[in-house]
Amino acid sequence: MSSEMIEFIREGAVAKIRLNRLKALNALCNEMMEEVARILQELETDTAVGCVILTGSDKAFAAGADVKEMQDNHYLDIYKNDNFETYHCAIERFRKPIIAAVSGYALGGGCEIAMMCDFIIAADNAKFGQPEITLGVMPGMGGTQRLTRAVGKAKAMDMCLTGRMMDAREAESVGLVSRVVPLDDLQDTAMEIAAKIAAQSQPVAMMTKEAVNTALETTLAQGIHFERRLFQSMFTTRDQKEGMAAFVEKRKPHFTNR
Ligand code: DAK
């Protein structure tokens, strides 16, 4: 599934999508994001894949939407084609676990697609930012909303109104990223984490992701009700029987995703 702009790697039950427009610092042009959306659509139904990693190069995860491609657009162009909804948001709609492994710049749309993933692992050289205001616009793919939920109003306002970058340590301290590792360890660490997730029951991992995401959309009472119903439903699965039997028998579980 690799192409000129995307490197696709499969390792066991993990699929890795690497943005590969190095000269443009992985600026998110339509062609590349169309490709990402197509791959994710295929992975959604590929039962052999349990977790996906989205990553970029050492220097840039992605430096934002492609400003050169976008600069002459008019309102009706972007309103009518709505490519951002169609392609970029394929990441937020993806139902299996997806991890962003970020090194270098994650700016504008780059920061936004990292935040669409389930969590972010950052290399120690990572830099996050929403610099759109310096281009005369504002974030348009969830930056003002997801960043605020992730880091709170004060930091989000600071980032979106000044366009400044946040380094990996600051991003970890405010909860934007789950872990920071040395650049040289980023890909191996991401693969290790993804393999661990992919070894769990796939439907259980998908429902767990759905439940955590629901926490951001509902009241506490509604969220807890939803969680309880999902938890109860898991007792219809073979994987629940296998997981608990394996614990009692002191062996590793072998989940069959049923
Ligand atoms: N777009 C296009 N090209 C880019 C780019 C970008 N975002 N970022 C970098 N490049 C290109 C540069 O133009 C340069 O190309 P050449 O000049 O060599 O042809 C090459 O990548 C290397 O960049 P630099 O020479 O600038 O490299 P430096 O190391 O000096 O600087 C930098 C790295 C990341 C600090 C700098 O490149 C930079 O500031 N880049 C722009 C960052 C930025 O402003 N990002 C936000 C983009 S706006 C929408 C929803 C959302 C969005 C749009 C629409 N709708 C719902 C419709 C999102 C908007 C954005 O993301």
Pair of tokens at residue 5: 């702009």
Which residue among 112, 123, 172, 190 is the active-site one? 112
Q: How many CB atoms lie within 10 A of CB 181?
A: 19
Judged against a pLDDT cut of 90, whether residue 83 lies above it is answered with no
pLDDT at 1: 78
How do strand 119-123 and strand 179-181 relate by DSSP bridges? parallel
Which residue among 50, 56, 109, 110 is the active-site one? 109
Share of the chain above pLDDT 90, in %: 93
79 to 75, 76, 112, 132: CA distances (angstroms): 6, 5, 19, 18
Task: Please report the atom of ligand 1 found closest to the CA of residue 135.
Answer: 44
Q: How confident is the model at residue 81 (pLDDT cuts 50, 70, 90)?
A: confident
Q: Do residues 120 and 100 lie in contact, with contact meaning Cβ atoms separated by under 8 Å?
A: yes
Give phi and psi for 205, each to the nearest 5.
-60, -40
Residue from 25, 30, 67, 145 whose mutation best tests the ligand 1 pocket (most atoms within 8 A of CB): 25
The residue-averaged pLDDT of 48-71 equals 97
Q: How confident is the model at residue 82 (pLDDT cuts 50, 70, 90)?
A: confident
Q: Is 112 a catalytic residue?
A: yes
Judged against a pLDDT cut of 90, whether residue 165 lies above it is answered with yes
Q: Do residues 139 and 132 lie in contact, with contact meaning Cβ atoms separated by under 8 Å?
A: yes
Judged against a pLDDT cut of 90, whether residue 84 lies above it is answered with no
* Dihedral, CA of residue 61, residue 65, residue 16 and residue 178, to nearest 10: 50
The closest alpha carbon to 146, from 81, 100, 190, belongs to: 100
Q: Is 140 a catalytic residue?
A: no
Tell the residue nearest (CA) to atom 50 of ligand 1: 140
The closest alpha carbon to 189, from 201, 200, 177, belongs to: 177
In angstroms, the CA 42 to CA 110 distance is: 22
pLDDT at 250: 98
Query: How many Å lie between the centroid of ligand 1 and the Cα of residue 225?
Result: 44
111 lines ligand 1 (CB under 6 A): no
Query: How many Å lie between the centroid of ligand 1 and the Cα of residue 235?
Result: 49
pLDDT at 225: 98
Distance from CA of residue 210 to its chain's centroid? Answer: 14
Rg (CA), the chain: 19
Query: How many Å lie between the centroid of ligand 1 and the Cα of residue 78?
Result: 19
Strand order in the sheet with 165-167: 60-62, 105-107, 127-129, 165-167
Share of the chain above pLDDT 70, in %: 100
pLDDT at 203: 97
Judged against a pLDDT cut of 90, whether residue 182 lies above it is answered with yes
Task: Please report the atom of ligand 1 found closest to the CA of residue 24.
Answer: 21
Which residues, listed in sequence order, are joined to residue 10 by a DSSP beta bridge? 15
109 lines ligand 1 (CB under 6 A): yes
240 CB-contact burial (10 Å; exposed 0-12 / middle 13-18 / buried 19+): middle
139 to 133, 160, 229: CA distances (angstroms): 8, 8, 36
**pLDDT 10s digits, 109-146:** 999 999 999 999 999 999 999 999 999 999 999 999 99
Residue from 67, 71, 82, 84 whose mutation best tests the ligand 1 pocket (most atoms within 8 A of CB): 67
Q: How many helices (H) and strands (E) does the chain have?
A: 13, 10
Judged against a pLDDT cut of 90, whether residue 24 lies above it is answered with yes
